Amino acid sequence: MHTHQTVDFVRSKHAQFGGFSYKKMTVMEAVDLLDRLVDESDPDVDFPNSFHAFQTAEGIRKAHPDKDWFHLVGLLHDLGKVLALFGEPQWAVVGDTFPVGCCPQASVVFCNSTFQDNTDLQDPRYSTELGMYQPHCGLDRVLMSWGHDEYMYQVMKFNKFSLPPEAFYMIRFHSFYPWHTGNDYQQLCSPKDLAMLPWVQEFNKFDLYTKCPDLPDVDTLRPYYQGLIDKYCPGILSW
């Protein structure tokens, strides 16, 4: 991942998947598709991702019973991992994310030992702290490493999910640990990003700490979550 995630690579993936012509399916069909995937990067999960989706959603539902949109984010957050089932290698689907086009910061995992073959770091346009960005330009103007977070965020925008901005931030940045946990990349953040950060951190509690071997009874939960899908992102979507 740290070798191949470059500006050119990420732009090529936006071009490849930006037409959303790979598959037509509903949200619940995408959830079911995740039963075919075990995330190689996640040390806490050795069961299919669909169970983790319901676990996360139920954890959020218990803690925030009044925010039904937040419950749905729990179900949606990893659906971008269908990229792996479209033939993408897992290094371009899962794992902690980071901005491309600037020098990786200290809290990027294995930062000092894994970027030596990344060609962007030999390019003076991309190898400084700011790289190709302006100070405090805002994360909406930052090119993130390609993976399931960015892809699902783009799917949500393209299909016009009627969720609040907080939901889009949670989806796009939940794997951006160097920002929401490492406190790095502040030089790129706008005031809006900093206002949204606590929401991403709140979501992350449930993404990390609801992973347990007691699997939810998915069949009893489906009707509730189907109702949320019908409210916020109904019908057959373009992926």
For residues 109 and 181, what is the distance between their CA atoms, to the nearest angstrom?
12
Picking from 29-43, 53-67, 96-110, which range would have the lowest pLDDT averaged per residue? Answer: 29-43
Picking from 3-17, 46-60, 103-117, 163-177, which range would have the lowest pLDDT averaged per residue? Answer: 46-60
Range of the domain at 51: 24-97+135-234
pLDDT value at 49 more than 80: no
In-domain check, residue 121: no
In-domain check, residue 195: yes
Average per-residue pLDDT in the chain?
Answer: 94
Instruction: Give the C-alpha distances (Å, rounded to integers) separating 238 from 125, 129, 163.
Output: 35, 36, 17
pLDDT value at 202 more than 80: yes
Picking from 39-43, 130-134, 214-218, which range would have the lowest pLDDT averaged per residue? Answer: 39-43
- Establish whether 71 is an annotated binding residue: no
What does the DSSP 8-state code read for residue 39?
Answer: -
Place 210 in a pLDDT band, splitting at 50, 70 and 90.
Answer: low
In-domain check, residue 198: yes
- Establish whether 148 is an annotated binding residue: yes
- Establish whether 217 is an annotated binding residue: no
pLDDT value at 95 more than 70: yes
- What domain count does the chain have? 1
- Establish whether 77 is an annotated binding residue: yes
Contacts of 236 (CB under 8 A, 6+ apart): 24, 25, 26
Picking from 57-71, 114-128, 206-220, which range would have the lowest pLDDT averaged per residue? Answer: 206-220
Tell me the whole-structure pTM to 2 decimals: 0.94
In-domain check, residue 130: no
pLDDT value at 148 more than 60: yes
For residues 236 and 159, what is the distance between their CA atoms, to the nearest angstrom?
9
- Establish whether 193 is an annotated binding residue: no
The pLDDT assigned to 63 comes to: 97
Place 56 in a pLDDT band, splitting at 50, 70 and 90.
Answer: very high
The pLDDT assigned to 154 comes to: 98
The pLDDT assigned to 44 comes to: 59
Take residue 194 and report the two structure tokens written for it. 């900093």
Place 43 in a pLDDT band, splitting at 50, 70 and 90.
Answer: low
In-domain check, residue 180: yes
CA 153 from centre of chain = 7
pLDDT value at 133 more than 60: yes
What is the mean pLDDT of the segment spanning 66-91? 96
In-domain check, residue 18: no
**Residue, of 169 and 215, whose pLDDT is higher:** 169
In-domain check, residue 90: yes
The pLDDT assigned to 106 comes to: 93
In-domain check, residue 118: no
pLDDT value at 29 more than 90: yes
For residue 62, count other CB atoms closer than 10 A to its CB. Answer: 11
The pLDDT assigned to 97 comes to: 97
The pLDDT assigned to 193 comes to: 98
